[in-house]
Amino acid sequence: MNKKQIKRGVVGIIFMFLLSIILPVGQVIAQDSDYGDEYVDIIIRYKESVPEEKSLDSRFKNVHTMDILPIQTMSVPASAIRGLSLEENTRRITYDQEVSTSQSPYEVSDDDWNQTMIGTFDAWEQGYTGENVNIAILDTGFHQHPDITYAGGHSIFAEDDELGPDVWTNDHSGHGTHVAGILGAHQGTRAQGIATDADIYGVKIYHESNGDKTRVGNLLTGLNWAIQNDSDIIVISSGYPDHNQEVHDTIQAAYDQGILIFAASGNITDDNGAIDYPAVHEEVIAVSGVNQRQARVSDSMVGPENELAAPGQNILSLSPDGAYSTMSGTSQAAPHVAGIAALLMEKHPSESPDAIRQRLIEQALDLGDPGHDVLYGHGLVQFGENQPEETDPEDDTVEEPEEDEEETENVSDDDETSADTDSEAENTETDSEETADGETDPEQTNEPQDETEDAETEDDDSSSENTNENVDNNDEETLSEEEFYSNNENEIEENDDPAQHSTIWIRPSETNGVATVAQEDIEAVPNNGVLAISFDSSLGHIERISLSREQVKILKDKNVTLLVARVDLEWVIPIDNLSEGNALITFESTAQELKARAITKGKILSFGIEQEGERLTTFPSEMTYRFFTPDVEYNQDALYQWNESNEAWELLGDAYTKGGVVGVTSEVGTLAVFNPEELETAIATAKEEKVAEEEEVQENEEKEAEESEPDVVEEIETEFSEEESSGLPVVLSSVVVVLMSVTGGLYFFSGKSKD
């Protein structure tokens, strides 16, 4: 073998050695990348100060910091959420949820019927046009139409936004321009607005790449801007289905600052029959829709939160192409009420926002049942106390088309429509009724068909009670396809991410060494959601969670899954494992001496659930336990449960998700992580040691037994030896003589010869 071959061989050996080192590291990196590729939008509420954006993880994108409250919105890798929840300054983390415009597809009508219905022209005759009232509209964008003048605007999508910049004057949908036109289009134009001299600010919270969908975090950012810029009125013609505490807190801050907020109550769909957020909130004026005959539009949301009604069908306004279009929905109803509020603010400048709100209620034209009702709230909004000249309202009946044929009329300067065509059966959209991205949304395509079916039912039954019942029957909870864990089988899969809007991560408080959960956190979790109780390092000593009877009831009513999250573990508890009554959930370190304790990968934890002081032992649903230990998957460690009766560790699970090892069982007990090979070796070694110990004990016992048996011969010899030395032989001889004599006597007395 020459030197060249030797050199090649050495290089090859070195290469293989380096490869053996690099490959395991690569595997770990690959595992980490599996958890970090997907980005999710979240909202973080901090306990105290908000961290500087530059101090955050460089992977975090689209970070927006609120000035009103300690809140940040951002996009982060899904794998980072758990770590964020464990930071001491984190108060609560919610997954952002989708917000959509509250628009409904209906056909055109006469141009100014809506203005006449609410008394706009009466206000103008008195000289009120909303002057010096600042109105912020949070929407899709605001085209610089020649028939409207904006006081200013703002887009939350800056140059550094992940989706790219999107200026506020770009209305990719037409929805924002339409809403703004209802409020402030110039007097004398074809689609003249209500408060024509109000200072209108367009706040763009929808990015053109997402069409008519946005996120709650974007709504928060828009609200923050509107509050900071001295708005008198905020208009939100959008909605989302589930409660978000950060939005509510921000709205509360706006309300405390004296800002009136108007929001669309929403349009009924197959998936949602309840009034949308944020219209649900008490601080917000929820607006429902009516048609030209002052009857509820059949897809307008029904509920006790409805406060006022306004025109919401076939509303003519501005479009982004510089022309005009009609749209329908509670999106169009909300700016009508906001416009009347602006007129009243100008007319009564000394009155507080609360007083203006009360005036809106008192001056409303009562429709439906006397007083407040679920269809119209307090009634149709009015500028003046005198009711406009209208035909008698159709008591609570949902307006339906009298003709059987379907019609679609496009908008032009020469077009007119029949005044009362409610056209719920018309599935054809007008040129203004596309989705915000310019394409037909499959869900929206289905909605008019469903509304048609509802309309046909309502045509046969015109009572408001039946209408309300039909709507309420739609208000059933449905599970998201991305639900965190199934309610039927809590089996963990790699794609078991929580639904982005259904999980609330909260930091508990400590009371006498026990974790407690704030009532607002319980109420913030949506139906069928997940309450993740997260323990940061400062709470690592807490091993118990206390829930009151009322909190347990709320969680059960909302079908909320509990998730106990610590640095070292996650424990998923389906709510049906709790019965009525207060609950104590424990996950305590055990000091009990158990087999192989020395080789555990982390703590040995004992889990338990007590209710009303009684420890529960059987549960209807399986619970998921996930333990986090260093390199658990790389080391192929597994989760074990201690069997008390057999005094042995039994395998519970060896599946790996999100950096932890997972086991599923319907029991509580004592759990620990071991390496199976190490545990098997330790058990075998322990058995061998035990056998050896038993053999050694047996040998020692036998030896001790042998050593304890006396040697008779030696003892006798010893005794005789001692007797000889002590002069006992004489005495012994005497004893022998006496015994022999006695023996002879015995034989004698017995009649036996001594021979």
Give residue-wise pLDDT tens across range 611-631.
Answer: 998 999 889 999 999 999 999
CA-closest candidate to residue 419, choices 523, 292, 330, 240: 292
The catalytic residue among 154, 172, 175, 248 is: 175
Angle at which helices 712-726 and 729-749 cross, to 10°? 110
How much of the chain, in percent, has pLDDT values that exceed 70?
A: 72
Query: What is the DSSP pairing of strand 152-155 with strand 90-95?
Result: unpaired
Please state the rounded mean pLDDT for residues 2-16: 61
Catalogue the E-assigned strands of 549-598: 561-565, 569-573, 583-589
Average model confidence (pLDDT) across the chain: 79
Residue 735's DSSP bridge partners are none
pLDDT of residue 658: 81
Say what the pLDDT of residue 699 is.
Answer: 79
Q: What percent of the chain has pLDDT over 90?
A: 55
Q: Rounded mean pLDDT of 188-212? A: 96
* 21-31: average pLDDT: 37
Choice among 85, 328, 331, 423 that is catalytic: 331
Q: What is the DSSP string of 615-684?
A: E----SS-EEEEE--TTTTTTT-EEEEEETTTTEEEEEE-EEETTEEEEEES---EEEEE-HHHHHHHHH
Tell me how far CA of residue 557 lies from CA of 221, 248, 578, in angstroms. 32, 22, 12
Question: Residue 10 above 80 pLDDT?
Answer: no
Cα→Cα distances 348→133, 210, 343, Å: 12, 41, 9
pLDDT at 66 over 50: yes
Report the pLDDT value the prediction gives residue 692, as an integer from 0 to 100.
Answer: 80
Put simply, whether the predicted model's pTM sits higher than 0.85 gets the answer no
Active site residue 331: yes
- Report yes or no: 251 and 281 within 8 Å, Cβ to Cβ: yes
pLDDT band at residue 237 using 50, 70 and 90 as cut-offs: very high
398/69: higher pLDDT: 69
| Whether 207 is catalytic | no
pLDDT tens digits for 457-476? 333 343 334 434 443 433 33
Assign 215 a pLDDT band (cuts: 50, 70, 90).
very high
List 111, 139, 147, 232, catalytic entry: 139
Question: Who contacts 244 (Cβ-Cβ below 8 Å, separation ≥6)?
Answer: 43, 94, 97, 216, 277, 524
Alpha-helix residue ranges (DSSP H) falling in 172-291: 175-184, 216-228, 245-256
**pLDDT score for 586:** 97
Of 237-246, 356-365, 370-379, 703-712, minimum mean pLDDT range: 703-712
Active site residue 96: no
For residue 701, the model assigns a pLDDT of 78
pLDDT of the residue at 710 = 58
Judged by DSSP in three states, 306 sits in: strand
Query: Residue 22's pLDDT is what?
Result: 44
For residue 410, give both structure tokens: 């496009």
Which of 78, 218, 226 is closest to 161 using CA atoms? 218
When mean pLDDT is compared across 153-162, 330-339, 415-424, the lowest value belongs to 415-424
Please give the average per-residue pLDDT across 263-274, as a whole number: 84
Comparing 192 with 104, the larger pLDDT belongs to 192
Q: Which residue has the higher pLDDT, 157 or 446?
A: 157
Among 528-532, 550-554, 590-594, 747-751, the minimum mean pLDDT is found in 747-751
Whole-angstrom distance, CA of residue 726 vs CA of residue 473: 117
pLDDT on residue 464:
39
Q: What is the pLDDT of residue 592?
A: 84
pLDDT at 736: 44
| Reported confidence tier of residue 431, pLDDT bands at 50, 70, 90 | very low
**φ/ψ (deg, to 5) at 253:** -65, -40
Strand intervals (E) in 439-554: 503-506, 509-511, 514-516, 530-534, 544-547
pLDDT at 502: 80
pLDDT recorded at residue 388: 44
d(CA 136, CA 139): 10
**Token output for 468:** 């309300």
What is the pLDDT at residue 573?
Answer: 97
At residue 662, does pLDDT exceed 50?
yes
Confidence bin at 432 (pLDDT 50/70/90): very low
* Maximum average pLDDT range among 43-52, 407-416, 715-724: 43-52
Distance between CA atoms of residues 380 and 363, nearest Å:
9
pLDDT of residue 589 exceeding 90: yes
Look at residue 13 in the predicted model and tell me its pLDDT. Answer: 62
pLDDT at position 68 is 86
pLDDT, position 4? 61
Contact between residue 592 and residue 669 where contact means Cβ atoms under 8 Å apart? no
pLDDT attached to residue 304: 96
d(CA 596, CA 599): 6
Q: Region 375-385: what's the mean pLDDT?
A: 95
pLDDT digits (tens, 9 = 90+) for 516-542: 999 999 988 988 999 999 998 888 899
pLDDT at residue 483 in the model: 32
* 178 pLDDT higher than 60: yes
Q: Are 187 and 129 in contact (CB under 8 A)?
A: yes
